[in-house]
Chain A
Amino acid sequence: MTLLELDEVKVHFPVRRGILFDRTVGHVYAVDGVSLSVSAGQTYGLVGESGCGKTTLGRAVLRLNEITSGRVVFDGTDLAALPAEEMRRARRRLQMVFQDPLGSLNPRQNIESVLAEGMAAHGLGADRAERRAKILEILDRVGLPAGSLSRYPHEFSGGQRQRIGIARALVLEPDLVICDEPVSALDVSIQAQVLNLLEELQDSLGLTYLVIAHDLAVVRHISDVIGVMYLGSLVEEAPSDALYSDPRHPYTRALMSAVPVPDPEVEDTRERILLRGDLPSPAGPPAGCRFHTRCPWRQPERCATERPELTDVGGGHRVACHYAAEIAEGTLRPNRELAPPILHQPGTLTGFEAEAAEAAAEPGAAAGPEAGPGGPPDGGPGQGPQPLIP
């Protein structure tokens, strides 16, 4: 059953100039047409680099950012069309866990007051005693001692503060919890504790999560379905395992190959796709495919002019790339000239240049796709449909 459905959601922030007249001179296209659906009891992971709009999208679901256009259908009602007061009441069922556990807790409020505030606002619990009983139950669930009630946020460690943040969401008995970078501020050993806690809570309370994170390994660990965002739109969406074993979009492939794996054997042998340059500004996104300015597989036609639609390639795997099929088959090769220049000192050859030189020395090999399997030196970055991590 679908609990949350986003339909062509757009969030554009106006850029204003001028002192007397607030002229709108442009827009930041933070989220530019995202459609996805989250099934009840499942975890949907949104992954992407900073500036890709993943946080804005998460906040837009709760209407913490106003939606420019599109629909956010939660359990049958379009949240985007709700009047403010009804939206406030609806938020009991949609809660958020924020990234910075200290910044999202009022330093002058003790834990009981933090947790009781939301309950009071939504009219949960008849009196103080009833609320306290509920709060104690939740504190126990998230693994905090009952003595925390009268303590203040600064008295807790980072991991404990994040547990408080989770408890604050859970006292309202929500259906959907949006976790915005729930573990990125935590140390590795604490991160694992919080991830396990989130999974346990999902199992016992039947929660649905929308997890927003930049760390692909974290997202893969916790999610059933993963959506990869780039410059305000989804470029690929697939079940967690499928995305990992068979990434189709060039950006996903590059992203995956860039995530360090704590295993020297894997690190030494896997293919690496380095991207050239940085993320373009969402205020002036490139025309056509948003990724074409950095894509190693870019083609002269279509990529720069026509924006690819998210299309289903089977098994719930959706990709927004004109050439996804050709790349998967290996008939389309990455363009070496679009690889980033790493140190090019006179007299020394970097990997790419050395390979290019070798390829040039071999007649016919430089011809690209037509070169037979025996032709060019193998093992170059991103050749053919090899698995990213063997």
Chain B
Amino acid sequence: MPLLSVDELTVTFTGHGAPDVAAVCGVSFQVDESQVVGLVGESGCGKSVTSLALMGLLPQRGVRIGGRAEFDGTDLLRLRQARLRDLRGSQLAMIFQDPLSSLNPVVPIGVQVTEILSRHRGLRGSAARKEAAELLDRVGIPDPTRRLKEYPHQLSGGMRQRALIAMAVACAPRLLIADEPTTALDVTIQAQILELLKELVDQQGTALLMITHDLGVVAGLCDRVNVLYAGKVVEAADRRPLFAEAAHPYAHGLLGSIPRLDAPRGERLRPIRGSINDRIDWGDGCAFAPRCDFSTEECLDGGLPLTLLPGREAHRVRCVHPVAAAPGDGAGDGPGNAGNGPGNTAGNDPGNTAENTAEGSPGENPEGDAAETTEATS
């Protein structure tokens, strides 16, 4: 049984008079013990809201949460606050993106670390201070006893993130949620922090839910990856199959848009056209259809399930026209099932994409695009 099993999680923000905003519209994934699972997506895809919902950190009012999130048999979403407070910090822990705003600026680091130790482990006084110093030492903060007396502003960014990690692992949690833990850090410091997280998972068997926008981080760290778009998982796969044979046009497009350090110079990027603002409601079809090069009428039917790719284990994709696993590089971006896919237009698509860089220009409505493509095939 998985340690954490999230099933059809939905989070809707309801405002005064404003239309409801569905930030997460049915996300399901699982995390096993000592597994690193990635939630990947761009801003606005609902990845952070998912993590906040799991930790019970969303405001009580103005938010509607649906679905289930079973952690070791108990549904986190229906837990009473008091019980949740016992779990948080001991069995569940979270690291946030911005280490400065996650620490109290007027309280010394030591007090903030010992607080957790006294709340969950009953340690007091010098025993707590000693343990806190050991924790800081373990996450690689030099001279921990001096650091305990310092305030957050006296620590560097990397050191603050280390302190937060020390607090998160103080009670050897079974699940650690890391929400963009390295985004605010420089790349050499990022490497240190990622290495530290890896060590924690290896040594303590902690399960890690890694929330990030950086596919490079995912490639180095995660066992399993869930790609989110507009509040739904559009592709879920193990790390290697995802990077080698991304099947959803969005995941595939993301990989084509990243400048790679090891790519030869002069190679043009293949961006995804439009922006997240062009999405449509999942009820009306695929939210990505307006930006997709392969979209057809079928994409707008609605009710797209996350289906297993034929012949694959555990590689699921929510798409009518999954991108075929092209041997070598994704030069032949043709859709998988050529029978109903726009096989002919696929060859022209990269060029088309490059020209069509204007985001959300009014001329591109999803219906028009889709109609064009179907005409070409039929």
A268 CB to closest chain B CB (Å) equals 8
Q: At the interface, yes or no: B122 with Cβ under 8 Å from chain A?
A: no
Q: Chain A residues with Cβ under 8 A from B313's Cβ? A: none
Q: A258, B191: Cβ atoms under 8 Å?
A: yes
Q: At the interface, yes or no: B199 with Cβ under 8 Å from chain A?
A: yes
Q: A143, B357: Cβ atoms under 8 Å?
A: yes
Q: Bound state CA distance, A389 and B263, in angstroms?
A: 11
Q: At the interface, yes or no: A240 with Cβ under 8 Å from chain B?
A: yes
Binary contact readout A136-166 vs B (1 if CB under 8 angstroms, 0 otherwise): 0000000111010000000001111000000
Q: A255, B216: Cβ atoms under 8 Å?
A: no
Q: B269, A159: Cβ atoms under 8 Å?
A: no
Q: B358, A345: Cβ atoms under 8 Å?
A: no
Q: Bound state CA distance, A306 and B324, in angstroms?
A: 58
Q: At the interface, yes or no: A344 with Cβ under 8 Å from chain B?
A: yes
Binary contact readout B160-192 vs A (1 if CB under 8 angstroms, 0 otherwise): 000000000000000000000000001111111
Q: At the interface, yes or no: A134 with Cβ under 8 Å from chain B?
A: no
Q: Chain B residues with Cβ under 8 A from A329's Cβ? A: none
Q: A261, B261: Cβ atoms under 8 Å?
A: yes
Binary contact readout A251-291 vs B (1 if CB under 8 angstroms, 0 otherwise): 00011111111111111100010110111000000000000
Task: Bin chain A's interface residue count.
Answer: 35 or more
Q: At the interface, yes or no: B359 with Cβ under 8 Å from chain A?
A: yes
Q: A267, B265: Cβ atoms under 8 Å?
A: no
Q: Chain A residues with Cβ under 8 A from B354's Cβ? A: 196
Given contacts A157-B277, A254-B188, contact A262 B138 (CB under 8 A): no
Given contacts A157-B277, A264-B243, contact A192 B191 (CB under 8 A): no
Q: A278, B243: Cβ atoms under 8 Å?
A: no
Number of B residues, CB within 8 Å of A: 64
Q: Chain A residues with Cβ under 8 A from B187's Cβ? A: 49, 214-216, 255, 258-259
Q: At the interface, yes or no: B262 with Cβ under 8 Å from chain A?
A: yes
Q: A278, B219: Cβ atoms under 8 Å?
A: no
A243 CB to closest chain B CB (Å) equals 10
Q: A196, B262: Cβ atoms under 8 Å?
A: no
The stretch that binds B, out of A59-67, A78-86, A182-190, A371-379, is A182-190
Q: Bound state CA distance, A112 and B221, in angstroms?
A: 47
Within 8 A of B (CB), among A171-227: 187-193, 195-197, 199, 214-218, 220-222
Contact for A50 among B186, B195, B220, B259, CB less than 8 A? B186
Q: Chain B residues with Cβ under 8 A from A192's Cβ? A: 256-259, 269-272
Q: B359, A160: Cβ atoms under 8 Å?
A: yes
Q: Chain B residues with Cβ under 8 A from A189's Cβ? A: 42, 253-254, 257, 271-272, 275
- List, sorted by A's number, 29 A–B pairs whose CB atoms are closer than 8 Å: A143-B357, A157-B277, A160-B275, A187-B43, A188-B213, A190-B271, A196-B268, A196-B357, A214-B186, A218-B259, A221-B265, A258-B188, A260-B220, A261-B219, A262-B216, A262-B255, A264-B239, A264-B243, A266-B219, A266-B262, A267-B216, A268-B220, A274-B191, A278-B156, A340-B140, A341-B140, A342-B196, A343-B140, A389-B262
Q: With A160-B275, A244-B261 given, name 4 new contacts (CB 8 A).
A: A50-B186, A187-B213, A255-B187, A389-B262
Interface pairs A-B: 4 shortest CB-CB: A260-B216, A192-B257, A192-B271, A221-B259
